[in-house]
Structure 1
């Protein structure tokens, strides 16, 4: 009886899951990997897809803005390529050795008694290499990657290729007209779109209202907020719409979110209380 009364008095924890992006979130933007990824994407567009070099930089950015990733945009406007080939070219040539183990982050993550899940637009090979280089193996119960969200995507039939000029015409027309026109759809499921988040919630049985979401992209953060997540924008101290907490570095979790460790203390106290009641009953 004493145990039942004690349990009823315990308040429900505010969070039960931590959802992490990888790139520029688990490690800082200053690593330079993001700039190399962008360069590799643009090289792929030139050398593998035959896109004019003088159009590549702008097209890369515009497709990213519209479709969440440049790769998703390239597929949407009709370029036919193998996803594994794209990922191998873009990520496979990165200097992963520049990343060093991060025992501070590992200790932070392992010290918290919550579920921890990774949600990245990157491919599984890239995610695994980053996590291994940072020394974070075993820290996460699941890694949601490009392949997880898009298991059968290579069976999709390619659309007709649009010329760069056509793409820019559509973008320009849409931006400067009140008339809504439909841009080509992409078969790729990815952040920052709500459907990707909903897929993750279903796959992992995550309750967004009890989940902290860490990401470096303001677009991803704002979508996360709309679908009910508590949001942590990593890489800046400035808040914006949809941002609950802003962290300059992932290491600042303890200072910015002391309530996570209060939950640890509460859990420890609950265990002690249960043990005490058990001893009293046995006695």
Structure 2
């Protein structure tokens, strides 16, 4: 893995789930299971059919919640509180990642389609909560999820970001497209990253801590 030149970066924007911990933990599977439970009740359909609609909503709307709000009038807080109420046992703090993020010069922010409460729980459990200036969550985005361009524009306006001096780390390739269009440096994270051929993905890594540690950074 060659060292990335990130000497221009002043703001570090991180997705949360499957980015600041490995997807292989299958922590998100617990949340997705609760989403399917919710979908069953909301639609009155058998589990398999409800799960198919859940996946379709995710693809078409960016999150299952956005689809439920659009088609079923679901109140977002009840959904978010229920689906994120899962055990943290699958998540293990990573001291190497904590130290790598702590060493980054400039501002550090979370940009997630999850809720504020979920972000606080996960970051606290991983021992990363003190490293970030703020969390831009789905409530902050008025429930319009990534990859909506309007949501990227909102996080830029809220925090006064200079896109060309911002690096955005994500496990979802499609969420990097608007970031690149705005001028951000994009980094796809996860075991699947190496297979990406998208031209809007500037860097790829399966090892976020190693990537950050080896990168060339702006001198403090």
Judge same fold: TM > 0.5, yes or no.
Answer: yes
Matched, 1:23 2:17: yes
Consecutive unaligned residues in structure 2, runs of 5 or more: 1-6
Match of 1:245? Answer: 203
**Which residues of 2 match residues 81-230 of structure 1 at below 5 A?**
81-92=74-85, 94-150=86-142, 188-230=143-185
**Inter-partner Cα distance in structure 1 for 2:46 and 2:68:** 14
Match of 1:281? Answer: none
**Inter-partner Cα distance in structure 2 for 1:147 and 1:134:** 22
Give the Å deviation of 1:138: 1.2
**Inter-partner Cα distance in structure 2 for 1:51 and 1:228:** 43
User: Structure 1 residues 254 and 122, CA, compared in 2 at 3 Å: closer, same or farther?
Assistant: closer
Cα RMSD (Å)? 1.5
**Inter-partner Cα distance in structure 2 for 1:49 and 1:59:** 9
Is the Cα–Cα contact under 8 Å of residues 94 and 126 in structure 2 kept in the other structure? Answer: yes
1:247-277 per-position Cα deviation (integer Å, ceiling 9, x unaligned): 102112236x5212xx23xx3xxxxxxxxxx
**Inter-partner Cα distance in structure 2 for 1:34 and 1:98:** 10
**Inter-partner Cα distance in structure 2 for 1:103 and 1:45:** 37
Count of residues in Structure 1 that have an aligned counterpart in Structure 2: 211
Relative contact order, higher structure (CA 8 A, sep 6+): 2
Is the Cα–Cα contact under 8 Å of residues 239 and 245 in structure 1 kept in the other structure? Answer: no
> In proportion to residue count, which structure has more helix?
1
Is the Cα–Cα contact under 8 Å of residues 165 and 184 in structure 2 kept in the other structure? Answer: yes
**Inter-partner Cα distance in structure 2 for 1:52 and 1:107:** 46
Is the Cα–Cα contact under 8 Å of residues 93 and 127 in structure 2 kept in the other structure? Answer: yes
Is the Cα–Cα contact under 8 Å of residues 11 and 166 in structure 2 kept in the other structure? Answer: yes
Q: Structure 2-normalised TM-score?
A: 0.90
Match of 1:44? Answer: 38
1:13-63 per-position Cα deviation (integer Å, ceiling 9, x unaligned): 511110000000000001111222221111101024423434212211111
Give the Å deviation of 1:110: 1.1
Q: Based on CA coordinates, which of the two structures has the bigger radius of gyration?
A: 1
Q: Structure 1-normalised TM-score?
A: 0.71
**Inter-partner Cα distance in structure 1 for 2:212 and 2:63:** 32
Consecutive unaligned residues in structure 1, runs of 5 or more: 1-12, 151-187, 268-283
